[in-house]
Structure 1
């Protein structure tokens, strides 16, 4: 009994309901206190009340919704293409020595080159339209998904492979019962990083000769020193980034419900 109690104390303890929003709420409280206490110059950083008022005005004008839908479309397309490419390359490299020889070295070189560093070349090849923006996002996502999925595939215990051979599993059964469960944890880590990468890349590409999107709206606000509009854009990025990560976490918990981890 005493050993069981001691063992429970070694872990992080029970999770708090909605605990992950505590940090953002604390940051909001500090921001509000500093703004209304006169510690912040409103020309440099607007108060939360002013930001909410500006957001309401942008919604009433239809500007926020229009730009948000365009940004979400770019982020979603880049995410879909990036996840598909990263997963496919990881599977090819992780399950075949030939694939590993042809793919992994190239992907490691690409990992050392930030996707944003390729912007001049991509603009030269694709112009400044939607294709360039989606490709930049997809490249950042693909690397994150590839690295983590490939690491999970190559990290599967060889004893499971030997056991599958001993019991005579077919190739399809081996993939279904050994490879997929072994690779899924790494895939979800890569997916979470990929979601974050999609938002980071989106912020940059929407400020390069764009005519729409949240980043474009923020860039225009910078020209007129509208810090409230800039903060609205940042909050939109932050809220959707937090929500998308929470969604991936929820899917991960459901798909990997068979695992017993400290997060459970």
Structure 2
């Protein structure tokens, strides 16, 4: 943990421990342990003890283990980000069903991401519109009403880029969304990084770029058709993660995360 400026955060539960073990193995094989830490977030002490010895562990406080709204994963992520924000310059959220697939310069990727200020989005096919509209609508609710109209893009952003947080703006982010008051009420649709991307659009001058591909949900997380490629624009984009479904199509020297390995 000494002198590292970047950390990954991975919430998990007992039934995903095998995925986490594979994730940790890929983390070390690709030498990310020299650049970063990888924190595992457990729901309770019993889970943590069952997992076994590991240096970078976080255990969710008992009062935040709230499952009624289906938002427990989002709660764990937001709580962990707040817990670790003073230790690092960048925090990157990943799911346990993820693998590192090649070494990259993480600091270079993080700095370029916040210098470029571009979020990748895609149009949604009719079969995915209800779900994605619910996600976008619920995430907007955390911002002042007079700003929500500025978040009206038809493009869907989730998992088209890694969930990279810049810790220097997290205090402002948490204050704007009133995290201390609202964390316990976060629901399934309020994806942690979708909320942060809205913050980046409203307050950090990020723009959204159309990947010119249509999918039922995020293009880079797609695991099946329908999948409509309208142009070859994606070949010129800085795509950093992908499901196996699109790995051959999107693969490039900076793509370092394989996601949704549980859906292979």
Give me the TM-score of the superposition, normalised by structure 1.
Answer: 0.24
- Greater helix share, 1 or 2? 1
